[in-house]
Amino acid sequence: MRLLSLLFTLALLAGCASTPDYYISPKPVQIPATATYWIDTFNLQLVGESERFLPEDKLRQQLGMELIRQLGNANRYAASKDSADYLLDVNAVYKRRLSDSKGGLVSMVVDDNTILASVDFGYKVQVKRDGSEVLHFAQERNGLQPAGAMGQLRNMKTMLGVITNSGNSDVENFYIRSLPKFIVRDITAIPSR
């Protein structure tokens, strides 16, 4: 029994000491927990273009500015590119899942492609210093929908948009505020040993 307890404890400690699989670096890295970053490039690919929702360039601009704002709130965004400890190249894919009943019974009540049902959000972030990659990480988050207290309010507004057949184009503002949090969380969790 003691041996089993010892093995379990060692396995737990080994798991806590290891870095997550999605942080990939060419060599061991030590980034200070207080390091500051500057977004060198922010690329966004939009899948699911619709005239009812934001165009790709405006969505890219708003997501990029929100990411900068949230990094600043976390005290991780540098005052200038020259003063930054590390530069970031961010490549993201924003995929809209629009409702489409393909002419079925539902389309007699709600027009197709007027409701943004959920979003798939994938990103790859490359962390650089002196022109070389220090590490990179990537995540795929599929089927994202508003959650939490504010998300429930947002979902009620979407339901109203369904009932009145007015759509829910304003839900995109919720995603613009929410999605950069994933990237900021991953940046602040970069191993600092």
Asked if the structure places residue 166 within a domain, the reply is yes
Give the structural domain span for 43.
Answer: 37-189
pLDDT tens-digit series, residues 96-144: 998 754 444 444 445 556 788 899 999 999 999 999 999 999 999 999 9
Domains of the chain: total: 1
Does the pLDDT of residue 161 top 50, yes or no? yes
Q: Does the predicted TM-score (pTM) go above 0.85?
A: no
Asked if the structure places residue 128 within a domain, the reply is yes
As a whole number of angstroms, the distance between CA 140 and CA 26 comes to: 22
Can you give the CATH number for the domain in which 57 is found? 3.40.50
Is residue 68 within 8 A of residue 19, CB to CB? The reply is no
Asked if the structure places residue 7 within a domain, the reply is no
Asked if the structure places residue 17 within a domain, the reply is no
Asked if the structure places residue 27 within a domain, the reply is no
pLDDT value for 7: 44
pLDDT value for 157: 78
Asked if the structure places residue 46 within a domain, the reply is yes
Rounded to an integer, the average pLDDT of 81-103 is 87
As a whole number of angstroms, the distance between CA 192 and CA 54 comes to: 37
